[in-house]
Chain A
Amino acid sequence: MIHYSVVPMDVVFAGMENFVPSYIDIEHGGVSMQVEPLNGYQARIVRLISGNPQHYLDGRYAPGTIINFSPAL
């Protein structure tokens, strides 16, 4: 990977060693996505893994959106 940016590399990658995100793959409203569980009932969308391009235009599924979700126990 080649990083081409005006921001110094050490600033961009600062905290990389401590950055251990926990993501899970779920299906929500018919759209498969990767989310970051926040608590027992909410999760933040990280990215969509859908084959339908129109899902990516739907504001409700934009990365960063918080969805209601509870993991199946």
Chain B
Amino acid sequence: MGAPEQPKQQEPGTEEIKRNPTLDNIQQLGQVNTPSGESNLFCLTIIGQVEGHMVLPPQNKTTKYEHIIPQLVAAEQNPKIEGVLIILNTVGGDVEAGLAIAEMIATLSKPTVTLVLGGGHSIGVPIAVSADHSIIAETATMTIHPIRLNGLVIGVPQTFEYLDKMQERVVRFVTRHSQVTEEKFKELMFTTGELTRDIGTTVIGGDAVKYGLIKQVGGIGEAIKELNRRIEERKQQMNGGGFVQ
């Protein structure tokens, strides 16, 4: 079959500036970027706080969702990118922003794999389960705990109902995108006596797999292998279907 694999239409429009990016990096950051030009994978890192509607003070290391979302759009659109690897080490953050990122990852048509390193806490949990395949490092932890309201809270039953509704969004997303049951997830969320300052559970490595939250324990090797396998599978499917992207 002489069909071309990928049409070469959209070149990213990046040629306007006649500067040497490597030299810039050395001057500004004291380091050289490793050549990444020819990778068919897009690596997205979600670290620190997921920053949402409020700009957080500078002591926070943040992942800006308004940058992540268009990056995912670009990854979906760019024909050179065949798979997306999401690396998580987050302490949580804004619910809306976190769920937005999770929904974006879940609806990408290209193969996606998430790797939880260090921690994927709170709103990191839905992001961790959003991809086609999820991997957790043996030492990585995920804290599952209830959502709290901040700011002015009115002590009326409606407040609790609102909170419950917000929490339900997270619970529903996680149970829909992983093997964990709603009962189990809520049980983990409302466990007492496990966390020192809160209710909830810290799930470590293999336990996350045992509860059905994450699919596999592993590291970067497993993640890349799985992603490559899925990319191959998708290529074959598309060629078998008689069309190219």
> Could you list which residues of chain A lie within 8 angstroms of chain B, going by C-beta atoms?
1-9, 12-16, 19, 21, 29-30, 47-48, 50, 52-60, 62-63, 65-66
Query: Is B38 located at the chain interface by the 8 A CB criterion?
Result: no
Q: Choose the segment among B60-68, B204-212, B221-229 that binds chain A (4+ C-beta atoms closer than 8 Å).
A: B60-68
The residues of B with any CB-CB pair to A shorter than 8 Å are 10, 12-14, 16-17, 21, 24, 28, 33, 36, 42, 49, 52-60, 64, 66-67, 70-71, 73-75, 77-78, 91-96, 98, 119, 121-123, 143, 145, 147-150, 166, 170, 197-198
Chain A residue at smallest Cβ distance from B58: A19
Among A2, A59, A65, max chain B CB count under 10 A is at A2
11 A-B pairs besides A3-B148, A4-B123, A60-B21 with CB distance below 8 A are: A2-B94, A6-B122, A6-B143, A6-B198, A7-B91, A15-B57, A15-B59, A29-B16, A29-B17, A53-B77, A54-B77
In contact, B57 and A19 (Cβ under 8 angstroms): yes
Please give, as numbers and ranges, the residues of chain B lying within 8 Å of A56 by CB-CB distance: 67, 70-71, 73-74
Total residue contacts A-B, CB cutoff 8 A: 118
Contact in complex: B92, A7 (CB < 8 Å): yes
Q: A2-B94, A4-B122, A12-B49 are in contact. Are A57 and B59 (CB under 8 A)?
A: no
A4 to nearest B CB, angstroms?
Answer: 5
B87 to chain A, nearest CB (A): 16
Q: Is the CB of B54 within 8 A of A57?
A: no
Chain A interface main SS type: loop
Which of B12, B28, B60, B96 lies in contact with A65, CB distance below 8 A? B28
Q: In whole angstroms, how far apart are the Cα atoms of A2 and B98 in the complex?
A: 11
